[in-house]
Amino acid sequence: MNKATLQEIETRFDNDVERFSNLETGQATTLDAVWNMELITDAISSLYPDAKHILDIGCGAGNYDVKLLQKLHSNPNVSLVDLSQPMLNRAKERVGALTNGQIHLIKGDFREAALEENQFDVVIATSVLHHLRDDEDWENTFKKLFRLLRTGGSLWIFDLIEQNNEHLQKLIFKEKYGEYLSKLRDEEYRDHVFDYIEHEDTPRSLIYQLNLLRQVGFKNIDVLHKNLCFASFMAFK
């Protein structure tokens, strides 16, 4: 199956702003979405209470930024990157109400975005990196994320992952996660979710990503949480 183009992905998200604006439910198909949002924003706010520059790639409607700004003592500048203009519009509206800092909107592919290097205290990348494609794409993206952070800054990731072992991938993704999706709605919905993951996404394993973070220069890499095929983790520059 040919993978979705960026235009196809953009169109899907353009039409789903309301669902991605819900702080209480998060994304229902994503395991522990709300719990991880609280965990990551608690950790960032405790490590960077006076953060000045925050970048959120694939920001959606800005849920992580809203949660984080409610916990910070500062009024940081926030840079928001997303393929979807309706998502960016909603994110700006929500984030702008919580900080007196500058809000920078960048519509388009993060990999092509002109962003200042050695600038950001925190980079947030949630439910976005699984759209990357081959190994070169993954490596170049992680290198760019590293360059954007100031020394002492950190990258925070929560995303869909796969298992290295084919049998475990079948058990954890197809069977266990499939069971979760069927209970969430029904088997038709399960198959719908599986179909668009197959069409749009190219996730990598947690081990692959942790090794790649180290390879491009990150240090003090830590896993925050893993539940079946979703994990949150972070790394310092």
DSSP letter string, 90-136: HHHHHHHTT-SS-EEEEES-GGG----TT-EEEEEEES-GGG--SHH
- Judged on CB neighbours under 10 Å (0-12, 13-18, 19+), 165 is exposed
User: Would the pLDDT of 140 be above 70?
Assistant: yes
* pLDDT mean over 71-80: 95
User: Would the pLDDT of 14 be above 50?
Assistant: no
141 or 5: which leads in pLDDT:
141
Predicted local confidence at residue 39, as pLDDT: 98
149 beta partners: 120
Q: Do residues 143 and 176 touch, judged by C-beta distance below 8 A?
A: no
Extract the runs of DSSP E, i.e. beta strands, from 19-68: 53-57
* pLDDT mean over 84-108: 94
- Cα(161)–Cα(180) distance, integer angstroms: 16
Q: Do residues 183 and 203 touch, judged by C-beta distance below 8 A?
A: no
User: Would the pLDDT of 19 be above 60?
Assistant: no
Predicted local confidence at residue 26, as pLDDT: 56
Predicted local confidence at residue 1, as pLDDT: 54
Predicted local confidence at residue 5, as pLDDT: 63
Highest mean pLDDT range out of 21-25, 30-34, 192-196, 233-237? 233-237
Mean model confidence pLDDT for the chain: 91
User: Would the pLDDT of 20 be above 80?
Assistant: no
* pLDDT mean over 172-186: 95
Name the pLDDT band for 200 (thresholds 50, 70, 90): confident
Q: Do residues 221 and 232 touch, judged by C-beta distance below 8 A?
A: no
Name the pLDDT band for 6 (thresholds 50, 70, 90): low
29 or 106: which leads in pLDDT:
106
3-state secondary structure of 189: helix
Predicted local confidence at residue 151, as pLDDT: 98
Candidates 129, 131, 84, 79; CA nearest to 105 is 79
For 152, left (φ over 0), alpha (ψ -120 to 50), or beta?
left
User: Would the pLDDT of 23 be above 80?
Assistant: no
User: Would the pLDDT of 167 be above 80?
Assistant: yes
- Cα(198)–Cα(107) distance, integer angstroms: 25
3-state secondary structure of 232: strand
Q: Which two tokens stand for residue 24?
A: 């209480």
